[in-house]
Chain A
Amino acid sequence: MSVTAESRVNAAELIEEVLKAYPEKSAKRRAKHLTVQEEGKSDCDVKSNIKSLPGVMTIRGCAYAGSKGVVWGPIKDMIHISHGPVGCGQYSWASRRNYYIGTTGIDSYGTMQFTSDFQEKDIVFGGDKKLEKIIDEIDVLFPLNKGISIQSECPIGLIGDDIEAVAKKKAKQYEGKTIVPVRCEGFRGVSQSLGHHIANDTIRDFVFDKTDPTKNAFVGTPYDVAIIGDYNIGGDAWSSRILLEEMGLRVIAQWSGDGSIAELENTPKAKLNILHCYRSMNYISRHMEEKYGIPWVEYNFFGPSKIEESLRKIASFFDDSIKEKTEQVILKYQALTNAVIAKYKPRLQGKKVMLFVGGLRPRHVIGAYEDLGMEVVGTGYEFGHNDDYQRTTHYVKDGTLIYDDVTGYEFEKFVEAIQPDLVGSGVKEKYVFQKMGVPFRQMHSWDYSGPYHGYDGFAIFARDMDMAINNPVWALTKTPWKKAA
């Protein structure tokens, strides 16, 4: 369905209407985050990465969520201490579905909750002594751990604790053990995003800069690549890795889904960094480019069109043998892709989707929907920056509604007015829209399904979108005796 000038006007009117509910000052500020995409704009023309308004029900999280929850948490053979009161670690405990292979509690710790469980006395007298003791106790009870990260919660920065000094002292005491102090207190920055950046910087400072390059015996090949910015949600990194290996590449590291500290340490030996979630890991990619001369390339493994394009883009960095194998890979999966599209496209053709997700998906998944004949009519980033919106323009069609850091109120009103066939967002939004009778898929956790990356993932993606939209329950939401209403 093409977007007409009329519908663009309607969308602009809708934004205006929704803004009326705010106090004047807030309406002015929110207006800068909402727009209708017009061809030719270089960055969707919205403000982003600025403070959320108080009291509006932002969907955003915090820097701790960005560091512990996203970047560091999946490194499986390290212990990540949620340093501060008990809650942050409790609510984020195993909820992101970063799959890994390992013996939990023995050599892997991904689905565990280590906390310093701050009490009032720790706030009053400081928590550094407790932190030292915690590191000692970890050494006794979890002797196979390969390192520790200290994920700061809000109070740490406010009470003046010196976690860097504790980390340094303990690293020395335990003979060069990797102990990483992370200043990801939740009040820093405006969203998860600063937490990603801070976490990236600590990998630079406490993993790259402190690791003896000869620590891990490593024989490189010309085909060594690292997957950067794939958190292996529901196994995404695995269904990506398998394609890269089939292309003839050697994946020496996964950042950070199913990742290990050794993989982080060895990444500077890669020939190419391939970057999926630009938002959360562009920082370390740029650093490796500057310091180690490793080029990086962004890719998109959602849906066959983008996968094919991305595979070729990655292959272009390598010799003809890789390029040939890449064509073979594309060919190999064509039958599967065709069968998936033949099965699901007739059921999904023309369906409209509205998205609101995190770092890369508000643009990255659009191609996968389009492969199934669907259309994304609204999208926005929870914690995107201007460079994300720049990267979005060539994904979205003219007339698409763009909403940055959408509030609960706006999202509800937008969906109510546009009546899409599917909304893709998070667990906090899921039930709001389902109550309204609108099919929904969680697009952070894949609604407990996945993987969605790669060709194997695309089949699952298509099945899941179909089961959401074509669920017979949506025919039951209205009573037979009140159907007119």
Chain B
Amino acid sequence: MSQNAEKVLDHFKLFREPEYKEMFARKKEEFEYAVPAEALQHTIEWTKTEDYKEKNFAREALTVNPAKACQPLGAVFAANGFEGTLPFVHGSQGCVAYYRSHFSRHFKEPTSCVSSSMTEDAAVFGGLNNMIDGLANAYSLYKPKMIAVSTTCMAEVIGDDLNAFIKTSREKGSIPNEFDVPFAHTPAFVGSHITGYDNALLGVVKYFWDGKAGMAPALERKPNKSVNFIGGFDGYVVGNNREIRRIFNEFGIKYTMLCDPSDAWDTPTDGEFRMYDGGTTLEDTANAIHAKATIVMQTISTEKTAAFIESKGQEVVRLHHPVGVAGTDHLLMELSRITGKEIPESLTKERGRLVDAIADSSAHIHGKKFALYGDPDTMLGLTAFLLELGAEPVTVLSTNGDNDWAAKVQALFDASPFGTNCKVYPKKDLWHLRSLLFTEPVDFLIGNTFGKYLDRDTNTPLIRIGFPIFDRHHKHRYPVWGYQGGLNVLVTILDKIFDTMDADTNGIGTTDYSFDIIR
């Protein structure tokens, strides 16, 4: 017995004790009828080969370890960005339990969201009664200012009509007549979580601008000098939105952040649970139609919303998750161009500081090879930044990035001498990436928490940038946008490089001549 009260051993150490190790061996030997060691080793080695990679890339039907989620997750993200808004997902209830858990594991925050809890009878007769009762219950219990409705694949397959259902619910008195209920169909079998974000945000904007689903006259645009900002589905929303606000304030630009969950996912522990906090006010959402222009920070995550806004006569500036110096330069210059305001000296100075930091550290990044995966806009921003640092983004992969996205990444490669030997992989998963990390090894991997399995299997150190990050805390509180964000990304990369360097040079009397105190 190894356990003791003074120094309690939990799973980290307990199962390494001899009594457990022997038990595991017995279980395997006597009861598991396990694969013989030789066959196991043979297969391990085979999965590292070109032959395996070829077969792996020949897959047409099976997806293994994808880096994407489904539409309603994005819809819940978008709904959470509006003042006093309760996300309501029409369909099976298990989905909502999953979205709430997923966000809570990333942000370490509560995520409020209700389901219409459709079951077998609703599958047969449709979910109208679930909508009627669901809206009534949600409204009474949680006193939201707005309920934003989206759908699970169940409701989509049986073809429930949200617009008609919500209308009927109003007639039946579930909610007051003037109560705001924007909606969006978000089928899980189309696109990914970023598509759901786009659809849900479009649902909200369209609802307010185009006459509240027939309940009010459509708004007429009277252009003013304000600028809208749309961040897209963003795991760093807490840090990023605050950084962007600061930048707007430095400029002195009047702005509306369309969809801002940065307070909802960062509430204080002070004795009070805030189901709602912050978010874009409904009034600002409506008035956003009058803005001069809209900055779309992640264009692929916001395609339909951007097109709709443009159709109202606004200029839309389409960006791809800019990270680093040139990316932020572009953002600031666009802001300056739109508003006629000069780029503030304070930001110019920040720029210089980021350049300073890059200059200080570039020797450690220059020429290092990276593989990276994630949402398509994020990949464009990070690829550009790595090229800017003189690194080589050898493998850039996205599960929810398509061929158009791949062409954009290729264009970045083509524009830089560091992009010469780099390749982009659209619509691929992390099992494809596993093969690539064996056949085209790199120095570092950039991705979300699930990349740790690749790190383990291929011995490629993982730098955690992406969504979700479950196994490191509070990263979402730090921006990756703006010059300050660029600095955070740079430091995140550098920390891993230096840690890896130290771990690789700490052999006592063998490699520790390079175990330098100054780097």
Chain A interface residues (CB < 8 Å from chain B): 21-23, 25-26, 51-65, 77, 84-88, 90-93, 95, 99, 101, 103-107, 111-120, 122-123, 130-131, 133-134, 137-138, 140-141, 143-144, 153-155, 157-159, 186-190, 192, 216, 234-235, 238-239, 241-242, 245, 251-254, 258, 260, 262-263, 266, 332-333, 336, 339-340, 342-344, 407-409, 412, 426-437, 449-451, 455-456, 459-460, 462-463, 473, 477-479
Q: Which residues of B contact A436 (CB under 8 A)?
A: 271-273
Other-chain residue from A21, A23, A51, A242 in contact with B20 (beta carbon distance below 8 A) = A242
- Segment among B186-194, B384-392, B497-505, B506-514 that sits at the interface with chain A: B186-194
Among B96-104, B250-258, B366-374, which stretch is in contact with chain A?
B96-104
Number of interface residues of B (CB under 8 A): 107
Q: In the complex where A216-B33, A412-B273, A431-B110 touch, is A54 in contact with B15 (Cβ < 8 A)?
A: no
Given A60-B93, A91-B98, A455-B3: A138 touches B62 (CB 8 Å cut-off): yes
Which residues from A are CB-within-8-Å of B56? 141
Asked if residues A91 and B101 are in contact (CB atoms below 8 Å), the reply is yes
Q: How far is the CB of B307 from chain A (nearest CB, A)?
A: 20
26 A–B contacts from the bound complex (CB under 8 Å): A26-B140, A53-B137, A54-B134, A55-B115, A56-B137, A58-B115, A62-B95, A87-B70, A103-B40, A105-B47, A153-B153, A158-B157, A158-B158, A186-B95, A258-B27, A260-B33, A263-B32, A336-B5, A340-B5, A412-B273, A427-B101, A428-B100, A430-B104, A437-B270, A451-B10, A459-B5
Q: How distant is the Cα of A131 from the Cα of B63 in the complex, in angstroms?
A: 11
Chain B residues with CB under 8 A of A107: 34-35, 40, 43
Q: Tally inter-chain residue pairs, CB-CB below 8 A.
A: 347
Chain A residue with Cβ nearest B187: A120
- B170 close to A (CB within 8 Å): no
B108 touches A (CB below 8 Å): yes
Least Cβ distance of A222 to chain B in Å?
A: 16
> Apart from A21-B140, A86-B70, what 7 extra A-B contacts exist at CB < 8 Å?
A105-B434, A120-B187, A235-B11, A238-B24, A332-B1, A450-B10, A460-B9
Residue of B19, B47, B98, B141 near A106 (CB, 8 A) is B47
Asked if B44 lies at the interface with its beta carbon under 8 angstroms from chain A, I say yes
Contacts of B23-69 to chain A: CB distance below 8 A: 23-24, 27-28, 31-35, 39-40, 43-44, 47, 52, 55-56, 59-66, 68-69
B346 interface residue per 8 A CB criterion: no
CA distance A50 to B123 in the complex (A): 17
Q: B residues within 8 Å of A by Cβ? A: 1, 3-6, 8-11, 14-15, 19-20, 23-24, 27-28, 31-35, 39-40, 43-44, 47, 52, 55-56, 59-66, 68-70, 72-73, 88, 91-95, 97-102, 104-105, 108-120, 122-123, 130-131, 133-142, 152-154, 157-158, 187-190, 192, 267-274, 431, 434, 450, 453, 457
Contact between chains at A238 and B15 (CB < 8 Å): yes
Q: Tell me how far the C-beta of B40 lies from the nearest C-beta in chain A, rounded to whole angstroms.
A: 6
B39/A144 in contact, CB under 8 A: yes
A141-B59, A407-B141, A409-B142 known; A90+B66 contact, CB < 8 A: yes
State the CA gap A333–B3 with chains docked (Å). Answer: 10
Task: Choose from B111, B117, B431 the contact partner of A51 (Cβ within 8 Å).
Answer: B117
Which residue in chain B gives the minimum CB-CB distance to A113? B65
Q: When chains A and B are docked, how far (Å) is the Cα of A437 from the Cα of B9?
A: 28
Residue B3 contacts which of A115, A252, A336 (CB distance < 8 angstroms)?
A336
Docked Cα-Cα span, A436 to B268, in Å, equals 9
Quote the shortest CB–CB distance from A456 to chain B (angstroms): 4
**For the complex, what is the distance from the CA of A472 to the CA of B455, rounded to whole Å?**
36
In the bound assembly, the distance between CA atoms of A23 and B135 in angstroms comes to 11
B373 to chain A, nearest CB (A): 14
B43–A459 CB distance below 8 A = no
A478 to B112, CA, bound (A): 24
Which residue in chain B gives the minimum CB-CB distance to A88?
A: B98
- Please determine whether A263 and B4 come into contact, CB atoms closer than 8 angstroms: no
Q: Is there an interface contact between A120 and B189, defined as CB atoms closer than 8 Å?
A: yes
CB-contact partner of A155 in B9, B24, B109, B154, under 8 A = B154
Which residues in A have their C-beta under 8 angstroms from that of B273?
412, 432-433, 435-436
> How far, in Å, is A266 (CB) from chain B's closest CB?
7
B152 touches A449 (CB 8 A): no
Contacts of B118 in A (CB 8 A): 54, 187
Q: Tell whether A239 pairs with B270 under 8 Å between CB atoms, given A26-B133, A137-B60.
A: no
Q: Say yes or no: A85 contacts B110, CB within 8 Å.
A: no
Whole-angstrom CA separation of A260 from B99 in the bound complex: 30
CA distance A462 to B10 in the complex (A): 11
Contact B98 A87 (CB under 8 A): yes
Once the chains bind, are A63 and B94 in contact (CB under 8 Å)? Answer: yes
A54 touches B117 (CB 8 A): yes
CB within 8 Å for A51 and B154 given contacts A409-B141, A427-B105 = no
Contact between chains at A477 and B114 (CB < 8 Å):
no
Chain A residue contacts of B188, Cβ below 8 A: 84-87, 118
Chain A nearest CB: distance from B145 CB in Å? 16
Give the docked Cα–Cα distance between A155 and B168 (Å): 26
Do B268 and A435 touch across chains, with their CB atoms under 8 A apart? Answer: yes
A53, A92, A235, A263: the one within 8 Å of B98 (CB): A92
Of B61, B94, B95, the residue contacting A133 (CB under 8 A) is B61
Q: State whether A262 touches B5 (Cβ < 8 A).
A: no
| Chain A residues within an 8 Å CB radius of B274 | 435
Q: Given the complex, which residues of A lie within 8 Å of B450, measured CB to CB?
A: 93
Bound CA–CA A64/B68 (angstroms): 19
User: Residues of B contacting A21 with CB < 8 Å?
Assistant: 140-141
Check B88 against A460 for contact (C-beta < 8 Å).
Answer: no
* Contact partner, B4, options A51, A262, A336, Cβ 8 Å: A336
Q: A23-B137, A54-B133 are in contact. Are A428 and B14 (CB under 8 A)?
A: no
Contacts of A245 in B (CB 8 A): 23
Please state if B152 and A154 are interface contacts (CB–CB under 8 Å).
yes
